[in-house]
Amino acid sequence: MESAFIFGQVGNLTECLGTGWSVEDTYAWAIGYESTIALPLPADNETYRTRFTVHGLTNAGIRDAQRLIVKAGDAVLGRFAVAGRTTVEVALPPALTAGQTYIVLTLLHPDALRPCDFLDSPDTRPLTICFHSAGLVQDRPEATPETQTDLPVGIVAGNFSALQLTRIVSALPSLRGKFKIHYIDTHPHLEETAHTRPPDTLSSAVFCWLQHGTGRASTTQALRAALPADCGVRRFGIPELHAFWPFLGADPRAVREADRYIPARYRFGDRIAMGLTQHAMNDDLLYMIYNGHAEQEMPDLNALLAIDVLNWKRLDARCDVKLASALESSLRRERPFMAPTIPGPALLRMLAERLLDTPAIRDVASHADLLLELDDIMSGYVGRREELPIHPSVAAHFQLSWWREDQTYRWYGNRWGFRDYILDYIRWAAWRP
């Protein structure tokens, strides 16, 4: 919707109302036989419709609806019978709107009622229809799957992170109406997801961003084979980080609990915590013992990070999108990882920024504009709500600038600090998604 207007003293249409109105705080009654309104227009050459949200004054059995005729000059734009709250819509004649800053509409409403005649009310005004709001809507073809079939296709293939990238990129205004961006999950066989896309999606793709190291090899092979020869394929990877969580380990309690916790109640194991499960004691003491063990068994964190960095470089070598150096420089001031295998918004943004530098996209949109739009759509974005708490000593060691003493972490519907998390983990406490 291009413009939203509210009737009433508090609204933004008061100065646009001509004759035949009784304006109240948050609405305006059309009174008598005729009202006029000069509806603001954006002075361009687009075609518009306007929608009024209204309700009619009725007297059951005598006047069950109010008639409303909307005119512009001599042209009748619409006729309605208004009873309960409803929205009426008329197309505005382009000849009267092109280049104009307003259009004068005449509203005919010949069925006025005086509330004092049939209600316990002293109101003697000849009321007809109560106008609450109006909207100016530009006529543009709906972006339905049918109308989008002519658009060039972009493919993003991989796991949930690829889906997130698809959503981010699809929301960028500069690409809207220029590409149909399609996500393909590479875990099932390609033919199993065929029903989710029009038949010629793959054969008409102009670019494909393919996530490396996830999904079925047979699916990615089939996908590549189905793409046209001139489709630009760029491989990207989702790096992992283990140095921030040095006690990761497989916990035998981590099993699927059907209908409740999938894949497990606590999906990331902690080998220090799992050694304390038999300790029945109060929170303070248990946490003190955990920390004692953690400090004793703390590995060389710099060495762990060096392994992570090495793995990022290896991933870079297999991908077209390079991340290792940017990750290294941003790791302490941004938050690229929410959990060892879960990218945060900072990493998704890094990836999107690099992937958007794709020839087919550069042809239709400025990269600088796309980056600004990326900043805007990702403002305040927190991504998946699966954040694995970081041990305070680890945060201190790496001097994580975003970390606070009272740092809390999102976990589905919950927010908890490291201490609460680890105590609940030790006790394998139930939590609610």
Partner 1 sequence: MTRKVLIYANCQGEELMLNGRFVPSLADDIAFEWIPAHKVALEDWETLYGPDFMRDVVVLWEQTEAGPIGPHRAALYQRLPPGCEIVKFSPMTALFMWPFSGNDPRIAVDPDRYPWPDSMAAVLSTERLGDDALFDKYMELTASRMPDLERRLRLDAARWRATDEMADVKVADWIEGTFRTTKLFHTSGHITAAASGPMFKQLLQRTQGIDRRRAGSAIAETDALLRHHQGQDFECVPIHPLVAERLGLTWYDPDALYRWHGHEWTFKEYILRYIRWAPYLD
The one among 28, 168, 374, 422 contacting partner 1 by CB under 8 A = 168
Query: What residues between 296 and 335 interact with partner 1 by CB under 8 A?
Result: none
Q: Strand 153-158 and strand 205-212: pairing? A: parallel
Each residue of 310-331: b (16+ CB within 10 Å) or e?
Answer: ebbbebbeebbbbbbebbeeeb
Helix axes 345-355, 367-377, angle to 10 degrees: 160
Query: What residues between 50 and 79 interact with partner 1 by CB under 8 A?
Result: 51, 53
Complex with partner 1: residue 86 or 204, whichever CB lies closer: 86
Q: How far is the CB of 376 from partner 1 (least distance, A)?
A: 8
Instruction: Count residues binding partner 1 (CB under 8 A).
Output: 43
Candidates 7-15, 64-72, 154-162, 355-363 — which segment interacts with partner 1 by CB under 8 A? Answer: 7-15
- The answer to whether 413 contacts partner 1 (rule: CB under 8 A) is yes
- The answer to whether 16 contacts partner 1 (rule: CB under 8 A) is no
The one among 109, 132, 180, 349 contacting partner 1 by CB under 8 A = 132
Complex with partner 1: residue 135 or 213, whichever CB lies closer: 135
- Region class of 330: left (phi > 0), else alpha (psi between -120 and 50), else beta: alpha
- The answer to whether 187 contacts partner 1 (rule: CB under 8 A) is no
Q: What's 332's DSSP letter?
A: T
- The answer to whether 203 contacts partner 1 (rule: CB under 8 A) is no
Q: Amino acid identity of 21?
A: W
Each residue of 380-407: b (16+ CB within 10 Å) or e?
Answer: eeebbeebbbbbbebbebbebeeeeeee
The one among 314, 376, 396, 401 contacting partner 1 by CB under 8 A = 376
The one among 142, 259, 405, 406 contacting partner 1 by CB under 8 A = 259
Complex with partner 1: residue 384 or 397, whichever CB lies closer: 384
The one among 35, 133, 186, 219 contacting partner 1 by CB under 8 A = 133
Q: How far is the CB of 312 from partner 1 (least distance, A)?
A: 25
CA distances from 392 to 419, 421, 424 (A): 9, 12, 17
> Across the strands, what pairs with 102?
40
Complete DSSP assignment for 104-172: EEEEE----B-HHHHSS------EEEEEEEEEEEE------TTGGGGSPEEEEEESHHHHHHHHHHHT-
| Site residues, partner 1 (CB under 8 A) | 1, 3-6, 10-12, 26-27, 40, 51, 53, 87, 132-135, 137, 167-168, 171, 259-260, 376-383, 411, 413-416, 420, 429-433
